[in-house]
């Protein structure tokens, strides 16, 4: 049996150390601090918000994982416990689980209507739904298959007629507010 050269030994050692480090970082529960049950519930909710049609749905392109990561990093102000409408202890997963329970298809329409009704206080649902929509429409499938996309738009037409069934433009970021 031939000996291992120094370079091969160091590459193997570094690979094992890097793998152990990454598994240590990832092994701290589910993505974004959500439990497996909460992540599954988030998947059901994302599928209700953007279901699969002739284009992929939110679950098909990994939006629940995006939302979990966005919550972990505080995207959209979700890391601020004093933000208006933040859930107790800033735990969006527990809040979602408590509000939607075992049957989100039955409770989500009422939750959505209450959160977006006129003159209502801020709700954690607005943040979660906003992250679902952001995750979907900034993905390749959402931006190019669900919306129309033109990397370099042609001429400027200020009064462009729209026909029924026309899609919105993915390259129109004038109405996006990232806070």
- The per-residue pLDDT for range 54-82, each reduced to its tens digit, is 999 999 999 999 999 999 998 888 888 88
Alpha carbons within 13 angstroms on the beta-carbon side of residue 156 total 2
Residue 47 confidence class, pLDDT cut points 50, 70, 90:
very high
Domain count across the chain: 1
pTM of the predicted model, to two decimals?
A: 0.69
* Other Cβ atoms within 10 Å of 146 Cβ, number: 20
21 within domain boundaries: no
Q: Report the distance separating Cα 165 and Cα 161, nearest Å.
A: 12
State both tokens at 63.
């939006």
Give the range of the structural domain holding residue 43, as residue numbers without chain letter.
Answer: 30-146
Tell me if 95 is assigned to some domain.
Answer: yes
Rounded CA separation 67/62 (Å): 9
Is 71 a domain residue?
Answer: yes
The 3-state secondary structure of 118-130, one letter per residue: CCCCCCHHHHHHH
Whether residue 178 lies inside any domain: the answer is no
70 within a domain of the structure (yes/no): yes
Could you give the 3-state DSSP secondary structure of residue 174? coil
Flag whether 151 is in a domain: no
Q: Compute the distance between CA of residue 63 and CA of residue 42 in angstroms, rounded to an integer.
A: 9
In this prediction, residues 7-20 reach a mean pLDDT of 50
- SS3 category, 162: coil
Q: Is residue 16 part of a domain?
A: no
Residue 40, pLDDT score? 93
50: in domain: yes
Backbone angles phi, psi at 166, to 5 degrees: -65, 140
- 60 phi and psi, to 5 degrees? -60, -30
- Over 60: is that where the pLDDT of 5 sits? yes
């Amino acid at each position: 049996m031939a000996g291992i050269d120094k370079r091969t030994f160091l590459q193997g050692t570094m690979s094992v150390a890097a793998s152990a480090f990454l598994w240590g970082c990832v092994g701290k529960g589910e993505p974004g601090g959500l439990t497996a049950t909460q992540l599954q519930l988030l998947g059901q909710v994302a599928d209700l918000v953007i279901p699969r049609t002739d284009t992929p749905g939110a679950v098909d392109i990994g939006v629940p994982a995006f939302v979990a990561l966005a919550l972990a990093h505080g995207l959209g102000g979700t890391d601020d416990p004093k933000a208006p409408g933040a859930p107790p202890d800033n735990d969006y997963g527990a809040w979602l689980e408590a509000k939607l329970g075992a049957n989100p298809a039955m409770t989500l329409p009422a939750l959505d209507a209450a959160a977006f009704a006129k003159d209502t206080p801020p709700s954690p649902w607005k943040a979660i739904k906003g992250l679902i929509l952001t995750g979907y429409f900034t993905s390749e499938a959402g931006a190019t298959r669900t919306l129309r996309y033109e990397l370099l738009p042609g001429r400027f037409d200020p009064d462009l007629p729209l026909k029924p069934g026309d899609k919105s433009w993915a390259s129109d970021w004038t109405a996006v507010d990232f806070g």
